[in-house]
Structure formats: structure tokens, C-alpha cells
Copies of this chain bind each other. A is one copy, B any other.
């Protein structure tokens, strides 16, 4: 029935990676594309680091550290320990195996390859049959206005300060002038289902959607768009999504998510713990689907993927 459908997933890091891993167990991998946020990317020690692309790449190739959901399994820290001895910056965890990927990417970029090309090379090398696309090959940088600090870079907020601060605003430097990466728009246009992964709506999804042209495709194809709420019982499973909802003036639950996504997504998948919110989500103008969204095992991630895809065949295409 649905085996031949093309799926494009708008993805951040850990949550999206788990969802994608589940999706790839239930759907032909060649038909799956992930458009991955690059606004967390940064340079450290001269190296081009793309945290969300790395997390998705490691997860889909089976190399991810299962305890953290990011970084490499069987990682070692010989370089980092020596860097600490030399007095270098060690606030960002760079493992030895992880470093190899950053060295590869940085070298290829310095040779003139695009981030898209490098990403596809790595997928090929690591046996990933789905297509990972950087949302843009141009520099977009998330910055957060932190209470009493002013604007700070994303990694400062997220890693160095461990998002234990109040934010007042956010912006994506460079996004107005950025182009979507190659194949991003055509992938969204050709997809039978567009999934917004259970990623942080502000710092993972928004800096993909606000790249000129991206959200317009979703608006036009709203009935094909299904989003998965990253909030369960008022809390994000990982990261600062729920407190950011409140700090930025939204309801701290899936209704807040619905109010953010309703203009360009027809369906919101919410957790069974939040089934009482169904009518409020519907009041925002979205269809609500209730299921288990906690992906604590690959099997549950696969089940969530199946349920998510089923929303579109049930409500989207067929009712169009």
C-alpha cells in the first residue's frame, strides 16, 4: 500500500535520528530523505562541525553512542585529554573517532566540495541508503538572546551553558540570504509524505523552515505534512524545547506545538499521555493523532514511524 511512497523528514539531532532509524526499518530506505538542520553548525579549532548531521549520520550507520544518542560508540578521548593539558578549549566534547569525521569534512570543504557533497560521500562510505541533505550549504547560525547576557551563539547556550538559562528571543543569522541546499525543495515537492520530526521546534525545525522557499512548499502541501510533537506530558524528552515554549510565550505542551505548526502542517502526532489535549490541538486547526511517541527502543521508533506514515494515507492523500 504505502511501500512506494517518498518520504522527506525535516530533522534536527537526537530525536530526529531515532525517528529516522525507526522509519528506515519499516520503509524502503532509498525512498527516505532527511533535510537536516545546519544552524547549529560551527567552527572549533578550525574544524567544520555539523552536530545534527553528525548525530543523524552516526545513528543511521549504527555508530552512535547508545547511551547519549549523539557521538560515537566506543569513543576515546586521547586528543581531548591532551588538548586540556595544553590549555585548549574542551567545553565541546570532541572524541577521537568523532574528530576523524570533522577532519574529513573540513578537508573536503577546503577543497571546494559542498556540505551536501561531503554528507553524501559520508553516507556512501558508511552504508546509509537514505539520502541526508543539509538544509543549506550556506552559513546559518542560530543565536539566542539570553536573559542578562544578550545574544549568544547556539553552542555557547546549548553546550557550554547547558541551556540552563532563560531565553528571550532567537534569530538565525544569515538565513534571509541563504538558499536551500541542492535537492531540498525538489525533495519536499516530490514527497508523498513530509514529516516534521520530534525535534526542537525553535532551534531545529524553525531554522530549516525559515530558509527562503522551504515553508512555502509545506504550506502548499499542508495535507501531506505530519509533525510529531517533541513534548510529552509538558516536558521535552531531551533538551530545552519545553522551557523554550514557555519562555517564548507558547503553551508548554503539544497545543503550543500545534500553534507553531498549524499553518504548514495538517496533522500533529501527540503522545498517548497527552490524549486529553486532542481537542485543543484540533482547535488549533490540526488533525491530532495519538500514539506512543517515546522512542526508547528501535521497535517503538519503528511503530511511531508506521503510525506517522499512516496519518497521511488515512487523512491526507485520500481525502484530498
Most buried by B among A48, A88, A121, A126: A88
Does A43 lie within 8 Å of B86, measured CB to CB?
no
In the complex, are the beta carbons of B86 and A104 less than 8 A apart? Answer: yes
Q: A82-B100, A83-B100, A87-B125 are in contact. Are A106 and B45 (CB under 8 A)?
A: yes
Once the chains bind, are A87 and B103 in contact (CB under 8 Å)? no
- Check if B106 sits within 8 Å of A79, measured CB to CB: no
CB of A110 within 8 Å of the partner chain: yes
- Residues on B with C-beta less than 8 A from A237 are none
Is A249 in the interface zone, CB < 8 Å from B?
no
Interface positions, chain A 66-122, Cβ under 8 Å from B, are 76, 78-83, 85-89, 94, 96-97, 99-104, 106-107, 109-110, 121-122
Find out whether the CB atom of A45 lies under 8 angstroms from the CB atom of B82: no
Q: How many identical subunits does the complex contain?
A: 2
Number of interface residues of A (CB under 8 A): 35
CB distance from A93 to the nearest CB of B (A): 13
Question: Using Cβ atoms and an 8 Å threshold, which residues of chain B touch A81?
Answer: 100
Contact: A45 with B107, CB < 8 Å?
yes
Chain B residues, Cβ within 8 Å of A88: 100, 103-104, 107
Which chain B positions have C-beta within 8 A of A86? Answer: 100-101, 104, 122, 125-126
If the complex has contacts A46-B107, A103-B45, A110-B46, are A96 and B125 also in contact, measured as CB distance less than 8 A? no
A290 within 8 A of B: no
A44 in the interface (beta carbon within 8 A): yes
Residues of chain B within 8 A of A100, CB atoms compared: 79-83, 85-86, 88
Report yes or no: A87 in contact with B46, Cβ–Cβ below 8 A: no
Q: Can you list 18 A-B pairs, Cβ within 8 angstroms, ordered by A?
A: A45-B47, A45-B106, A45-B110, A46-B48, A46-B103, A46-B109, A78-B97, A79-B79, A79-B96, A79-B99, A82-B101, A83-B104, A85-B100, A85-B125, A87-B104, A88-B103, A96-B96, A99-B99
Name the 9 nearest CB pairs between A and B, nearest first: A82-B100, A46-B106, A45-B103, A88-B104, A46-B46, A83-B100, A78-B96, A45-B107, A86-B104
